[in-house]
Amino acid sequence: MSTGGDLFSKCYKFEDAKKLQAMGLYPYFRPITASTGNNVVTAGKRQVMIGSNNYLGLTHDRRVMEAAQDAIDKYGTGCTGSRFLNGNLDLHEQLEARLAAFVGKEAALCFSTGFFVNQGTLGALVGRADVIYSDRENHASIVEGTRVALGDTIRFKHNDLEDLERVLKNTREKYDGALIIADGVFSMSGDILNLPGMIDLGKKYNCKIYVDDAHSLGVLGPRGEGTGHHFGNHQDIDLVMGTFSKSFASIGGFIAGTSDVVHYIKHKARPFMFSAAMSPASTATVLKCLDIMETEPEHLRSLTDNAAYMSKNLRSMGFNTLNSRTPIIPLLIGDDATAFAMTQKLCEEGVFVTPVVRPAVPEGCSLIRTSYMASHTKEDLDYALEHLEKIGREFGVLGSAETTERLNRIALENFGAHSIQ
């Protein structure tokens, strides 16, 4: 009697990564054996790190590391349970109060990962009669959250308010509650959300606004408070989400909004209720980073200056950067094989970058994602520029009018008119 197929058959047939490994072009899971933040050592070779989200360069700040150690000394290495049961520390509650005040909301709730924030919040809030309107370039954690949510999800073209209004006009009356969700800074393109226009449409069509500020905190706003403070309309955002694995040099995440909404999420979001709490060291790290962000604006100034320096020089070389105005500066390559080969060559020459291919970007839109830190020195940046230009020319990405025209066409078709330099 037949008992059906083999559950693992797809695993045996999965060859994509193995082919890259056989070619010596596999760019993932590179073991880092030492790190100073700006520089790392992999395979015994020092590399300038321009593939990290450590925007404010605080992962190796002595005060931050000491705060983590002090928390271990006081609370131990872990909470060994959920916040509901035995894992609720006074540190968690201090952090939530501080974060709410920082982003300008009544309350905040911390989760053990940023991924869980989006999954848990969307799953808790969006019922069967409700709808989510989601930007097509939103992070995978938002996509997974929309899959958990019981209501429908309707996607709109990236950062395209005309397309958003089109879908709102055609569908909004079919649903009870509605939520428009988008990244504040998009993690691959470095694009900044058109938040003022999104808020206007939210008011016009009675939709709540949810902004994922994972890559905006520490980057946008007078003190790094995020997208709403960058535009001066944070009071019109209903929910602000943030992560701790970037500017906050730790791991975890939070959601912030009105007290009633946060209280509801606290008692309904399963990834929060049934996961162990953030560790004491992780929580103390975020608190110390928040102290620094609130009192030392020079870190944000350095980040902004470094990003502007790299953007100016990369564009003058001829790289298509999708017109990014943030520390995330993508280099549009187009062809996956070229992106993998360039990444490997840069790694060999002492520059740590990461390739981005489908499904993180549309087919034929491969990128080399570069990102910059407040702590990068001019020597770090110039070293990276020298080798980026050399290898860009070696692979034909730079120096050809035909290639420039082709990449501009790809950018226009897939990322919108605002991506054209």
Q: Which two tokens stand for residue 66?
A: 């000491």
Q: Compute the distance between CA of residue 380 and CA of residue 389 in angstroms, rounded to an integer.
A: 15
Count other C-beta atoms under 10 Å from residue 15's C-beta.
9
- Given the DSSP bridges, would you call strands 178-183 and 208-212 parallel, antiparallel or unpaired? parallel
The closest of 300, 275, 243, 1 to 103, measured between CA atoms, is: 243
DSSP label at 327? Answer: S
CB neighbour burial string for 341-359, b if at least 16 within 10 angstroms, e if fewer: bbbbbbbebebbbbbbbee
Catalytic residues: 187, 215, 246
Residue 32, phi then psi, degrees to nearest 5: -95, 120
CB neighbour burial string for 362-393, b if at least 16 within 10 angstroms, e if fewer: eeebbbbbbbbbbbbeeebbebbbebbbebbe
Question: What is the H or E stretch that residue 39 is in?
Answer: strand 39-42
